[in-house]
């Protein structure tokens, strides 16, 4: 089957789809003054699509590449469902038929690997997020926690007492161009993560809120908002008893203390551990 053919009946094909072959073949095709293209498939689309878009050539893409689920190219059209949509349809069909187990089989062709984005592609996608997108993800994460707590003993005993711990940590990063990387209170170059975890005397901690921040940020920046969100998530996740908020001295300020006015929330100050002097090796 031809990998691609123009509306003027010019065709090119290769026995095995290949990015290296697709580029010169597409350029040769455009030299014939074509008006539109049918194809290629998933294996070549990453190389062919930019060339066709630059030339304002309409392309009918034939493939299930999930990376094209939200594409913005006005000249690119898909004539087959995405692999992600087909996967959902297959799962729904199996569920209606009463199947309880499933096996996933993948072949080693590039088209079979599109459900997981490459790290560089995923990074570009995440860097395009606005703070509004972050808030939407917060809502999804809180909803997941609430749903799990409703159907599993995730927070056993939360109707009596629960603990909400808030703290930050610096994770090292490498390279000179890492966005947001900087030196914080620990002296390590990296990114700062602010976390709120929820636990009970009977249940291990689960994450109730998180925020990734630049490395040089002050510990309490954004803590009041994160605490307020975590309190809402905790109460929605069955923490209906006494809720004890624990934090070290870095978070002991007016904004954080005013994060919740409920009489059933107890704010407890946890003394920070003294920093060990640099070079002290006596207590190894």
CATH code, 206: 3.30.420
pTM for the model: 0.53
271 — phi, psi (to 5°)? -55, 140
Average pLDDT along the chain: 76
- 155 in a structural domain: yes
Which residue is it, tokens 């803590």? 223
Q: How much is the pLDDT for 78?
A: 76
Task: State the pLDDT confidence band at 30, using cuts at 50, 70 and 90.
Answer: confident
Two tokens at 109?
């062709």
Model confidence band, residue 145 (pLDDT cutoffs 50, 70, 90) = very high
**Helices (DSSP H) in 106-151: which residue ranges?**
119-127, 131-151
pLDDT tens digits, one per residue of 44-73 = 777 777 787 787 888 777 776 776 777 777
**Residues 208, 224, 235, 139, Cα dihedral to 10°:** -60
* Closest to 56 measured CA to CA, from 37, 40, 43: 37
Contact in structure between 39 and 4 (CB atoms under 8 Å) = yes
- Residues 137 and 110 both lie in one domain: no
Q: 143 and 225 share a domain?
A: yes
Residue 103 has pLDDT above 60, yes or no: yes
Pair 75, 139 in one domain: no
* Confidence tier at 265 by pLDDT (50, 70, 90): low
Supply the pLDDT for residue 43: 65
Closest CA to 230 of 197, 270, 194: 197
- Return phi, psi of residue 200, to 5°: -140, 170
Residue indicated by tokens 């990063």: 173
| Mean pLDDT, range 250-257, rounded to an integer | 78
**Residue 281 pLDDT class (50, 70, 90 cuts):** very low
**Structural domain includes residue 265:** yes
Q: Is the pLDDT of residue 133 over 60?
A: yes
DSSP summary character for residue 56: T
CA distance 199 to 238: 11
Contacts made by residues 53-58, CB under 8 angstroms, sequence distance 24+: 55/30, 57/30
Is residue 171 pLDDT above 80, yes or no? Answer: yes
The DSSP output letter for 32 is T
Which pLDDT value is given to residue 42? 67
Q: How confident is the model at residue 118 (pLDDT cuts 50, 70, 90)?
A: low
Number of folded domains in the chain? Answer: 2
Least confident of 4-18, 77-91, 189-203: 4-18
Q: Of 68, 97, 128, which residue is a domain's last?
A: 128
Same domain, 28 and 76: yes
Q: What percent of the chain has pLDDT over 90?
A: 26
- Residue 184 has which token pair? 């914080």
Q: Are residues 102 and 137 in the same domain?
A: no
- 158 with 265, same domain? yes
- The owner of tokens 């030196």 is 183
Asked whether the CA dihedral 92, 98, 103, 105 is positive or negative, the reply is: negative
Domain of residue 176 covers 130-269
Residue that wins the pLDDT comparison between 236 and 27:
236
Q: Are residues 138 and 161 in the same domain?
A: yes
Q: Which has more confidence, 186 or 264?
A: 186
Please report whether residue 1 resides in a domain. yes
The whole-number pLDDT of residue 270 equals 55
**Model pLDDT, residue 219:** 87
Looking at 80, 104, 128, which one is the last position of a domain?
A: 128
Look at residue 249 and give its three-state secondary structure.
Answer: helix
Tokens 């007016």 label which residue? Answer: 254
Closest CA to 64 of 40, 80, 50: 80
Of 128, 156, 180, the one marking the end of a domain is: 128
């Amino acid at each position: 089957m031809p990998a691609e053919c123009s509306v003027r009946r010019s065709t090119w094909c290769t026995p095995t789809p290949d990015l290296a072959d697709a580029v010169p073949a597409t350029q040769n095709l455009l030299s014939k003054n074509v008006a539109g293209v049918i194809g290629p498939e998933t294996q070549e689309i990453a190389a062919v699509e930019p060339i066709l878009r630059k030339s304002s050539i309409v392309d009918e893409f034939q493939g299930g590449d999930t990376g094209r689920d939200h594409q913005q190219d006005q000249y690119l059209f898909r004539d087959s469902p995405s692999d992600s949509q087909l996967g959902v349809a297959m799962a729904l069909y199996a569920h209606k038929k009463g199947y309880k187990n499933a096996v996933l089989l993948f072949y080693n062709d590039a088209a079979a690997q599109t459900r997981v984005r490459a790290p560089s592609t995923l990074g570009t996608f995440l860097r395009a997020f606005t703070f509004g997108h972050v808030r939407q993800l917060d809502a999804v994460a809180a909803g997941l926690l609430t749903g799990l707590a409703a159907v599993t003993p995730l927070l056993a005993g939360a109707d009596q007492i629960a603990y909400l711990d808030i703290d930050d940590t610096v994770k090292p990063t490498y390279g000179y161009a890492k966005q947001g990387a900087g030196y914080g209170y620990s002296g390590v170059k990296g990114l700062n993560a602010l976390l709120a975890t929820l636990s009970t005397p009977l249940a291990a901690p689960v994450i109730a809120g998180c925020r990734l921040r630049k490395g040089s940020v002050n510990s309490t920046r954004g803590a009041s908002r994160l605490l307020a969100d975590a309190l809402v998530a905790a109460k929605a996740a069955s923490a209906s008893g006494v809720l004890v908020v624990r934090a070290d001295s870095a978070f002991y300020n007016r904004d954080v203390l005013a994060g919740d006015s409920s009489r059933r929330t107890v704010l407890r100050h946890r003394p920070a551990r003294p920093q060990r002097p640099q070079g002290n090796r006596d207590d190894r």
